[in-house]
Amino acid sequence: MKRLFVYTLYLATTVFSATVHTAHSAAQHDGPDQSHPVIREFRDLIEGDAEIYMGFHQMFDEIPSTRQYLMDPSGLRPQIRNYEHMLSHLNRILTMAPAFPPNGTNYAAIPIEVMFQWPMCTAAGFRMFINAKVNAQLKRILNVWSQFIASPASRYVLTNDTGGWFSPEALKEIPGFVETFECDPKKEFFGYASLDDYFTRRFRPKARPVASPHDDRVIVSGCESVPYALRHNVEERNTFWIKGEPYSLQHLLYDDPLAPQFTGGTVFQSFLSPLRYHRWHSHVSGKIVKVVQVQGTYYAISPTLGFAATNNNPDIENNGYSQAFLTNVATRCLIFIEADNKDIGLMVLAAIGMMEVSSTEATVKAGQRVKKGDEIGMFHFGGSSYVMVFRPETKIDFSGQVMKGLKDGKTAVQVRSHVGTVRS
């Protein structure tokens, strides 16, 4: 994850810097607000609610005034310091598609997060980004942006020009793109209908075979991802906001009636790179018990990563964006699956939204049967994190690839490949 901000910051400085000052100046005039209605709604929320009005002042004021924080995390642009400037910046983002930077990266742009990173690290920012009203409005803003990303208007970045997603620099980051993914390089935009269509692209039929398709002891990877954490004997409730970020099953599973069955069980979490593959696949053959969409936070991070806890030196990126913490509070989708193999039994796939990348779509429903490796959902616009949760009775020997990824933090596990074998 060390290169995430290279891309984010490049985008913030090159795509938006030419327009943000003009937009900010316009916002200061006495004339009618020309912003998108969803941005005007956000302004009304901030200015009409005393707690939120105070918080959106304090979260910018609490950013240290030292040299390090006079600029945004890129060190190239002045840090946004008030909610007026923030709103004008958000308004511009709604009709912009992120380009691929010419210096290359493994991660897609998160332009809103780069603006919020320092405020996220303040005490007031934490209060605001866990506020239900604020998150409801952020959801509406992200939905509007998602509509643009899913429209043909977003295809202007699907080119082979510098900054295009099919530029030599971009294709170098995804070796064998044409051979691996469904596309038609002879067509304009490689045949993709939108930037979201590109981000949710499918593998070609033989690119990711299902490991041991007829052996129901073998569990496969649900996503193309890098292992992040593996915990056993996970408690029903825990102080997930402290250093170490222990998993808290009751909160991860949104206090679902089935949650107690997993107390003392195993949690495996893995990170999806935005440049790779964003669809989810079933780990096992079995029946979908239920699908639960949880509306949670978008830009909250663990307080252990904030200014106060780090002596004014937060390092969100190298601390994994508090991914374990996010399993308890972030917007997410829970898919409960009853495996045919009784030694596995009931298990859960939890798709965790992270910042802009919080649009989770399940493509299955309760009562539906799935085979191991079948598609069951997707993230829109980029990558995120996913979790597998197993009952304490389910004893799994995880694969060497998983253990290597947990150790080095970079070894990826291919979707539908062997992730573990249940003991009989």
Residues 86-106 pLDDT 10s? 999 999 999 999 888 655 444
Residue 306 has pLDDT above 70, yes or no: yes
pLDDT in tens, 354-380: 887 678 999 999 999 999 999 999 998
Cα 127 to the chain's mean position, in Å? Answer: 20
Does residue 16 have a pLDDT over 50? no
Of residues 379, 362, 193, 419, the one with CA closest to residue 273: 379
Q: In sequence order, what are the beta bridge partners of 269?
A: 229, 387
Burial tier of 143 (Cβ tally within 10 Å: 0-12, 13-18, 19+) = exposed
77 versus 9: the higher-pLDDT residue is: 77
Burial letters 225-236, b for 16+ CB under 10 A, else e: bbbbbbeeebee
Residue 320 has pLDDT above 90, yes or no: no
Residue 288 has phi, psi (to 5 degrees) of -70, 120
- Other beta carbons less than 10 A from residue 316's beta carbon: 22
Tokens standing for 124?
Answer: 């007031």
What does the block give as tokens for 213?
A: 């398709």
Angle at 165 between CA 77 and CA 96, to 5 degrees: 50
- Could you tell me the residue ranges of all domains in the chain? 4-151, 155-193, 218-422
Predicted confidence at residue 354, as pLDDT, reads 86
At residue 365's C-alpha, the angle toward residues 364 and 370, to 5°, is 55
User: pLDDT of 110-165, one tens digit each?
Assistant: 788 888 999 999 999 999 999 999 999 999 999 999 999 999 999 999 999 988 99
For the beta carbon of residue 71, count every other beta carbon within 10 angstroms: 14
**Mean pLDDT, rounded, for 401-416:** 96
68 pLDDT band, cuts 50/70/90, is confident
At position 307, the amino acid (one-letter code) is: F
Percentage of the residues of the chain whose pLDDT score is greater than 70: 88
What DSSP designation does 312 have?
A: S
CATH of domain 218-422: 2.70.70.10
Q: What is the pLDDT of residue 144?
A: 96
Q: For the whole model, what pTM was predicted?
A: 0.89
Rounded CA separation 77/9 (Å): 9
Q: What is the mean pLDDT of the chain?
A: 89
Judged against a pLDDT cut of 70, whether residue 3 lies above it is answered with no
**pLDDT-derived band of residue 107, with 50, 70 and 90 as boundaries?**
very low
Distance CA(272)–CA(1), nearest Å, equals 10
